[in-house]
Amino acid sequence: MGAPARAIPHASSRAAVLDVIRAAGTISRVGLIQATGFTGATISTVVRKLIEDGLVVETGRAESTGGKPRVLLQLKASSRYAVGVHLDHSGIAYVLTDLSGAVVARMTRAGAGTDDPPAVVERMAAEVSTLIEGAGIDRARVLGIGLVSPGPLTPASGMRLAPPVMRHWADFPLDERVQRATGLPVVLGNDATAAALGEYWSGAVSGSSTFAAVYVCTGIGSGILINGIPYNGSSGNAGEIGHICLDADGPECWCGARGCTEVLAGPAAVVARAREDAGVARAAGLAGGNGRGHSSVAADFAAVARAARRGEPGARAIVDRSARYLAVATRTLANVLDLDRVVLTGQSLAVAGSMYQPVVQEELDRAFFSRATHPVAVQVSTSAATAPAIGAATMVLQSELVPLQPGTRIPGGLARPEQAAARPSGT
Amino acid sequence: MGAPARAIPHASSRAAVLDVIRAAGTISRVGLIQATGFTGATISTVVRKLIEDGLVVETGRAESTGGKPRVLLQLKASSRYAVGVHLDHSGIAYVLTDLSGAVVARMTRAGAGTDDPPAVVERMAAEVSTLIEGAGIDRARVLGIGLVSPGPLTPASGMRLAPPVMRHWADFPLDERVQRATGLPVVLGNDATAAALGEYWSGAVSGSSTFAAVYVCTGIGSGILINGIPYNGSSGNAGEIGHICLDADGPECWCGARGCTEVLAGPAAVVARAREDAGVARAAGLAGGNGRGHSSVAADFAAVARAARRGEPGARAIVDRSARYLAVATRTLANVLDLDRVVLTGQSLAVAGSMYQPVVQEELDRAFFSRATHPVAVQVSTSAATAPAIGAATMVLQSELVPLQPGTRIPGGLARPEQAAARPSGT
């Protein structure tokens, strides 16, 4: 069957051309005509406007088979910037990227903790200014802020059904307040989906058509990319593997269900088990008490994971048990979505990923339903701490750079990962 | 963010225009320009060729606000036909649809059983001829055969990793042999995905953007449609909820894993439990022995389901247990995909759906992760026996009728379900 076709409104032909230029590295006008299917007149008009706006520059000539050499076009990466903010209980990560998605500045500040949302927004606005000014970038060139946080998100804004540690953020009009405080447009998103985008744009999953980022920070989630395009589901809340049932008779989860991956295997469950064993708690240097107050779940999890990595047997057993549950949940995700690649990411897997990866890979090799057809490769992210913030920034860039559907040919130039992806079969 | 744009190759502009005409019922050339975004010249050329080929007819005039009335175009439904075949162990269902997807003939014959694949192909070829000739249709107007069967499918053909009852079909070059035996082009597909397509084209899931058919025949699977387009995953094997883990310590499944939905809750598990209880076996009229031979799993399951519906308590308890497992598996599917609609379908749920529906609906109402954002509606198919064959036929029609991406406006005319679907957010 052929691929579905759709009408191209004028506004997005600009974005499509810009994205082809970005993906190709350098490309001629003739190359753009071939890659997009637009007419020569359309390409000529769109390119003229992009050059006028300073987004694209001419950059020398390509050799041509007969005829005169063709002028090459290139993105002017420094013409526009985007801010990415990853807001979490345990930390707030900021990145500033240029139009090509390259990170030009990054910083990490204290998490939202138990502070009131308005106070956190005020602080974030100041920190965004610090980020932009510190990089010496003209604020007028900043397209906007991508702001990602734990889901599920409401269609409009906010963190309805937020996890316990961020419940006071539910129904807070996050995008509106940040927009007012910074004067910059705000795009909200889910942290796990942003992590997947961050991995994708940083080239970590080149060649994958159907990829998930299994994301463990304070909770467990996943972000799903189909040919580089986020799969959002009907309300922007897809990929919630932290709340699929692995044991119908298991303990009750904060979400209201029983035996969820998160309540069995999430960082809070690992920390709780470690605290139950005085030897493990001591080896991990966990403070006494119930873990509330200033220590965060993610920080305590990291302490247990480090103890496990040092070979403390009790800590290792607790981490291994968590890894086996996460492996089963990842297999479910792979069976439902027919994945070809999984990246283990998020702040907690940045510390513990090397202990989880072999367990998840073994589970998929042994029991992924379609294993006779193809394997599912499991890798640990090399940019787990910043992937969600990078993904958040690319959400803003995508409003300027709308990718063409996969399968579009990029003649010449460097094929970036999102263009190298194969077209899905049969649609 | 804007929707992704893509280039429109010439070949698919014809299919896109044809699909808009189909979806609209009747539409003018001006309406087609508005709906597709194609130029007037393109629409004029494409429509002229469609009329020449007999696929489209002019059908009167619409009133116009000032100016002269516009000529309306309509699909000529009887200009082309498609055969859909649903090949299963327990039965083979055939449908013949016209170009609009309406069923003009249907029949059911004995299943593949333990017969050799070449003998079954020979019989299928004869039965396809009976179907076409019985309807009085010129074979030259038949576009091809859509043939669906239990997955997972290899990229090329065949039923590699087929369930035990059809294991002798693994690696059989099914499409090639049927094509040779019938002289018609063959498109292979997964039965569960075809069931979802069949439900969608028959209008059962109007208004849904993210829909799954939970499909129970001999085994358990699901078909996923995103805005009317099948989600296939990286190798055409998405939606395998029969083989997600509901109990890590559960019994071993034929797929090699433990505690799969299918081994806990599938028709074969229900029948096995019923056989273990002499009273239930007698009430259900199950023949003695191990269930092999002439009785099929689906037929035996139907017998147990009928006993349960009559109020036989042992049978009812066995069915309810199966329903609870299926409900948990369906919730996993909903959490991963952020579904807004589920249809219970397949031969076994055609008999037992009314007992499964309340259990699945209650599970989603109570524990679907994003329930604060939106509900997931669960309904029983009204065309469970033929949905996969209808879906198989539409796979052929889609090679002529490639749908536009959702969100395309259909001015005037009757919006069919696949056009009424909302655009997904955020992509």
Q: What pLDDT digit, counting tens, does each position of A377-409 carry?
A: 999 998 888 899 999 999 898 766 654 333 333
| Residue A249 contacts B, CB cutoff 8 Å | no
Q: How many CB atoms lie within 10 A of CB A121?
A: 22
Q: Residue B243 gets which letter from DSSP?
A: G
Window from A147-151, A170-174, A335-339 with minimum mean pLDDT: A170-174
- Whether residue B18 has pLDDT greater than 90: no
DSSP per-residue letters across A316-342: HHHHHHHHHHHHHHHHHHHHHHT-SEE
Q: Show the CA angle centred on residue A426, arms to residues B266 and B204, nearest 5°.
A: 55
Residues A284/A315, Cβ–Cβ less than 8 Å: yes
- In this structure, are residues A87 and A147 in contact, taking their beta carbons and an 8 Å threshold? yes
Which residue type occupies A82? A
Q: Parallel, antiparallel, or unpaired for β B70-75 and B81-87?
A: unpaired
Confirm whether B197 is domain-assigned: no
Residue A162: per-residue pLDDT: 57
**Nearest beta carbon to residue A2 from set B238, B247, B402:** B402
List the single residue in B161, B210, B244 with the smallest CB-CB distance to A336: B244
Alpha-carbon distance B172 to B116, whole Å? 10
B contact residues 266-305, partner A, Cβ 8 Å cutoff: none
Q: Answer yes or no: is B267 within a domain.
A: yes
Chain A positions touching B373 (Cβ under 8 A) are 152-155, 160-161, 235, 237
Q: What is the mean pLDDT of chain A?
A: 83
Mutate: best of B263, B370, B374, partner A, most A CBs <10 A? B370
Asked if A5's CB is within 8 angstroms of B12's CB, the reply is yes
Domain presence at residue B315: yes
Higher per-residue pLDDT: A11 or A108 = A108
Q: Write the DSSP string, B159-189.
A: -TT--GGGGGGTT--HHHHHHHHHSS-EEEE
With beta carbons under 8 A apart, name residues in chain A contacting B3.
Answer: 6, 12, 402
Q: Do residue B74 and residue B161 come from a single domain?
A: no
How many CB atoms are located within 10 Å of the residue B292 CB? Answer: 10
CA separation (Å) from B421 to A41, B204, B207, B225?
34, 13, 5, 11
Return the pLDDT at A12. Answer: 66
- What amino acid is encoded at A389 in this protein? A
CB spacing of A404 vs B5 below 8 angstroms: yes
Q: How far apart are CA B186 and CA B144, in angstroms?
A: 6
Q: Which amino acid is at A196?
A: A
Tell me if the bond preceding A69 is cis, omega within 30° of 0: no
Q: Is the confidence at residue A164, as pLDDT, over 70?
A: no
* pLDDT, tens digit, 9 for 90 and up, residues B169-198: 777 888 889 999 999 999 888 889 999 999
pLDDT in tens, B104-152: 999 999 888 778 889 999 999 999 999 999 999 999 999 999 999 886 5
Torsion angle of the four alpha carbons B242, B247, B252, B257, in this order, in degrees rounded to the nearest 10: 60
- Range scoring the smallest mean pLDDT among A28-32, A369-373, B193-197: A369-373
Please check whether residues B172 and B145 belong to one and the same domain. yes
Least confident piece of the model among A175-184, A356-365, B125-134, B228-237: B228-237
pLDDT of B209: 85
Between these two residues, B65 and B179, which has the higher pLDDT value?
B179
Task: Give the pLDDT of residue A151.
Answer: 64
- CB neighbourhood size of B52 (10 A): 9
Q: Do A399 and B2 touch (CB under 8 A)?
A: yes
Residues 316-335 (B) with a CB less than 8 A from some CB of A: 324-325, 328, 331-333, 335
Report whether pLDDT(B160) > 90: no
Task: Tell me if B373 and A235 make a contact (CB, 8 A cut-off).
Answer: yes
CA separation, residue B298 to residues B88, B342, B346 (Å): 10, 22, 10
In the three-class reduction of DSSP (H, G, I as helix; E, B as strand; rest coil), residue B316 is classed as helix
Cα–Cα dist B274/B287, whole Å: 11
Query: Residue A78, class by beta-carbon neighbours within 10 Å (0-12 exposed, 13-18 middle, 19+ buried)?
Result: middle
Same domain, B84 and B138: yes
Task: Show the DSSP H helices in B117-170 as ranges.
Answer: 117-134
* Cβ within 8 Å, pair B6-A9: no
Q: Which of B157, B162, B86 is nearest to B386 (CA)?
A: B86
In tens, the pLDDT along A221-249 reads 999 999 888 898 888 889 999 999 999 88
Q: pLDDT band at residue B410, thresholds of 50, 70 and 90?
A: very low
Closest partner residue to A232 (CB to CB) among B246, B325, B426 is: B426
- The count of structural domains within chain B is 3
CA dist A3 and A6 (Å) reads 10
Structure tokens at B260: 């799969």
How many separate helices (H) and strands (E) can be counted in chain B?
A: 14, 13
Q: Which of A78-82, B33-37, B150-154 has the highest mean pLDDT?
A: A78-82
List pLDDT tens digits, range B385-407: 889 999 999 989 876 665 433 33
Q: Say yes or no: A85 and A103 in one domain.
A: yes
> Which A residues in the span 186-205 are in contact with B, Cβ-Cβ below 8 Å?
187, 189
CATH number at residue A148: 3.30.420.40
β partners of residue B142: B81
Residues B70, B111 share a domain: no
Question: If you measure CA to CA, which chain A residue comes closest to B341?
Answer: A234
Handedness of CA B40, B41, B45, B51 (dihedral sign): positive
Residue A66 belongs to a domain = yes
Which pLDDT does position A64 carry in this prediction?
63
The pLDDT score that the predictor gives to residue B408 is: 31
Average pLDDT over residues B292-308: 84
pLDDT greater than 50 at residue A49: yes
pLDDT, residue B277, reads 94
> What pLDDT sits at residue A37?
73
Residue A161 predicted with pLDDT over 70 = no
Is the same domain home to B271 and B342? yes
First CA to last CA distance, chain A? 6
> How long is chain A?
427
Dihedral-angle region of residue A109 (phi above 0 means left; psi in -120 to 50 means alpha; beta otherwise):
beta
Q: Which of B6, B337, B369 sits opposite A408 (nearest CB)?
A: B6
Residue A394: domain span: 80-191+388-398
- Min mean pLDDT across B1-15, B71-85, B372-386 is at B1-15
User: Which residue do the tokens 């002017």 mark?
Assistant: A76
Tokens 């007992």 sit at which residue? Answer: B355
- Higher pLDDT among residues B409 and B202, named by residue: B202
d(CA B192, CA B345): 9
CA distance B368 to B339: 10
Which residue has 């091809």 as its token pair? B144
- Are A7 and B36 an interchain contact pair (Cβ–Cβ within 8 Å)? yes
Q: Is B169 left (phi over 0), alpha (psi -120 to 50) or beta?
A: alpha
Looking only at the bridges linking them, the beta strands covering B220-226 and B103-110 are unpaired
SS3 B279: helix
- E-strand stretches of B51-133: 56-62, 70-75, 81-87, 91-98, 103-110
User: Considering only residues 30 to 89 of chain A, which have any Cβ-Cβ distance to chain B shorter than 8 Å?
Assistant: 35-38
Kindly report the pTM of this predicted structure.
0.82
**Count of CB atoms situated within 10 Å of the CB of A133:** 12
B327 in the same domain as B250: yes
Q: β-strands B186-190, A91-98: how paired? A: unpaired
Q: Rounded distance, CA A300 to CA B51, Å? A: 70
Instruction: Name the band, by pLDDT with cuts 50, 70 and 90, for residue B414.
Output: very low
Task: Please report whether residue B33 resides in a domain.
Answer: yes
- What pLDDT sits at residue B419? 30
Query: Do B348 and B410 fall within a single domain?
Result: no
Shortest Cα distance from A334 to chain B (angstroms)? 8
Residues of A (357-416) whose Cβ lies below 8 Å from B: 366-367, 369-370, 372-374, 395, 398-399, 402-405, 408
Please indicate, yes or no, if residue A196 is contained in any of the structural domains: no
Cβ of B398 and A332 within 8 Å? no
- Beta strands across the sheet bearing B26-28: B26-28, B70-75, B56-62
pLDDT of residue A6: 34
Q: Rounded distance, CA A90 to CA B392, Å?
A: 51
Residue A198 lies in a domain: no
Share of chain B above pLDDT 90, in %: 52
Same domain, A234 and A316: yes
A187 with A209, same domain: the answer is no
Please check whether residues B183 and B211 belong to one and the same domain: no
Tell me: pLDDT of B289 over 90.
Answer: no
Beta carbons of B352 and B264 less than 8 angstroms apart: no
Within a domain: residue A242? yes
Percent helix, strand and coil across chain B, each rounded to 5? Answer: 45, 20, 35
A370-374, B133-137, B159-163, B364-368: least confidently modelled range: B159-163
* A187 lies in the same domain as A211: no
CATH code of the domain in which A72 resides: 1.10.10.10
DSSP A146-179: EEEESSPPPSSSS-TT--GGGGGGTT--HHHHHH
